[in-house]
Amino acid sequence: MNDAEFKKSLSRYLDANVCDHLLGVDTCESELPKVPLDNFFGDEVLSLLYRSKDPGSRTLSKTKAMLEVVSDPRAARHLRAEAAVALGRFVQARQPDDFFSELGRSHPLQWYRLARQLNSVVGALAFANVILAQHGQHVEFDLDVDPLPRLKQDKKASTPLQTIHVGREVPQAWYLGARVAVRHVQRRFTGWGSEDFGCAFACIVNYLTLLSAFHLENLKLQIAQRHEALDWLKPLWNRLIQAAPEQARDPEQYHAALVEQQLAVLLRLDDLEQGRAELHAPRPIAMAAPANSDHIVVIKGEIPKSSERNEADYLKQYEVLRSPVGLTPLPDMETLAAIRKALEGEFPWAGEAISVVMSELIGRRRHGVMRLGFAPVLLVGPPGTGKTRFAQRLSDLFGTPNTVINMAGMCDVKVLKGVTRGWASNRPSRIVEFIQQTKVGNPLFILDEIDKASSAYGHGGAPQEALLDLLEPGNARRYQDIYLMTECNVSHCLYIATSNSLAALTEPLLSRLRPVYFPPPGPEHSEVIVHGVLADMERAWGLPAGVLEVTPRQLADLQGLAPREMRCALLAMLGRDTETSIYTLH
């Protein structure tokens, strides 16, 4: 290529004046520095910049400086990595469709691969994104909108959205990006910014959720590989979740969103393994629920009859459970967000409990689940901190009935399993009884003070042992009610247990519960608690909202009391001030 041809090709890449300036640089061949990295991966423009003494343009001067950094083996690795990423973007931004058909050039992939080799997680994700772009694809990843990534097809591509999938090499690029992040764990991600953390999360989440669709056996192998990789990915992920919020404007909210995302990803991976989810994306909600998904038959078999007339009449009441009963639906995403906000406003000291419950519900809803449900939760904290009231309020907000089963002092299983026919105290289990009373198949049972129930076998069995079947979905589908003498499907029931400590709970019981610390509220939460207790009283007494209020002086007297103590104090206040039953809060 002669000078004229070279200048013509170069003018497609750089401004004409800049070309003239660079080509006019008077340098003797013997003075030209040797170009490293195989002439910058065969890039004649970058080689020319590197050899130029004065590029003239500010942008080109910065590019020349980056070329010098990336070429210097004595420079810090992170600086060389940053330079490699910047050079990759420089090349990528100026890359036409037929990029330099006759002019020597480098490719962005070469620079991003170099950045990855220098331990840049930003370069690792950029490498994967370039490969996706070559196939007319990109990933949308916005934690504020959706905890899961979405694989999108470019408008100019002809492949239908329902059939797109990533190529074989893209998941490997994400996997290597996660491996890069591991190298920074011991240094506790020193020097990382929000972009580094975002790229690390993207590599992990994309690798776990976006698979290649070739054939069934290959898909099974990929899912098995993901589960195997979780052995090291999950600890890395947890450390990233702990460290990343320091870079956010609202660390607490960002941490909660990252935890929610992790749960959503793990749920999707489980759904993929069980064949319950589409490969390319979670199934749209409108298509996910089968017919009659809002009902369930609790008793599918016969209820043995009784020879005693009174008992026979009583048993007839439970025939209704042989027909479908309703299930409380899971609210839409907008309603879930409103419920979460309401809980945070009423129980600001219980952030962890709110996050655990709401994260699972949001994850379920995003995957198309239509029935209200969550894994059994154990709220652990000092007495009088509002654990039971929190569970009741949760039930109220979701519109499903609830009842409290007081486990303190329980030494047999009569309440949980029922009482045999023929005894004066015979009755069904409280679980089936409450379903029959409410005609709802997924009510909430609050197992209060579960640590005070006996864990030893007595004449009627151990209550903690009886809970094992109820809390295990597989066994709960065939739960044997002693009084009704038939199997009952109570697998959709919801459970929130409360406890002051974990010491008295058996290991099998703990394995079926998700323990969550429920701390005592601080003095700063007194006004919130007062309003909550007054609202409960208004609902219980059938009064309009806002009728019961307190004065600032009375509020000061209530400062620092636990929720249980505050309720007693408020009742005493309201009863003592008979002349003025309505108070004003200024």
Q: According to the model, what pLDDT value does residue 545 have?
A: 78
What is the tens place of the pLDDT at every residue in 500-512? 999 889 899 999 9
Res. 103 pLDDT band, cuts 50 70 90 = low
Question: Is the pLDDT reported for residue 284 higher than 60?
Answer: no
Ordered by where they begin, the domains of the chain are: 3-96+106-114 (no CATH), 130-274 (no CATH), 295-517 (3.40.50.300), 523-576 (no CATH)
How many C-beta atoms lie closer than 10 Å to residue 552's C-beta?
11
Token output for 377: 């939760």
How many C-beta atoms lie closer than 10 Å to residue 390's C-beta?
24
Question: Is the pLDDT reported for residue 250 higher than 90?
Answer: no
Res. 460 pLDDT band, cuts 50 70 90 = low
- Kindly give the interhelix angle for 169-182 and 108-117, rounded to the nearest 10 degrees: 30
Percent of the chain, pLDDT > 70?
82
Question: Is the pLDDT reported for residue 248 higher than 90?
Answer: no
- Identify the residue with better confidence: 249 or 66: 66
What is the tens place of the pLDDT at every residue in 134-145? 888 889 877 767
**What's the pTM value of the predicted model, to 2 decimals?**
0.51
Question: Is the pLDDT reported for residue 205 higher than 90?
Answer: yes
Res. 20 pLDDT band, cuts 50 70 90 = low
Angstrom distance (rounded) from CA 45 to CA 509: 68
Residue 119, CA distances (Å) to 82, 114, 196 in order: 10, 9, 11
Residue 22, CA distances (Å) to 60, 147, 548 in order: 10, 48, 81
Q: According to the model, what pLDDT value does residue 291 have?
A: 37
Could you tell me which of 362, 373, 343, 504 has the C-alpha nearest to residue 443?
A: 373
How many C-beta atoms lie closer than 10 Å to residue 219's C-beta?
17
- How does DSSP assign 216-245, residue by residue? HHHHHHHHHHHHHHHHHHHHHHHHHHHHGG
Q: According to the model, what pLDDT value does residue 583 have?
A: 40
Question: Is the pLDDT reported for residue 399 higher than 60?
Answer: yes
Residue owning tokens 């992920």: 237
Q: According to the model, what pLDDT value does residue 518 have?
A: 94
What is the tens place of the pLDDT at every residue in 344-397? 999 999 999 999 999 999 988 888 788 999 999 999 999 988 899 999 999 999
Percent of the chain, pLDDT > 90?
40
Report the pLDDT averaged over residues 59-88. 92
What is the tens place of the pLDDT at every residue in 29-40? 444 567 898 889
Res. 582 pLDDT band, cuts 50 70 90 = very low
Average pLDDT, the chain: 82
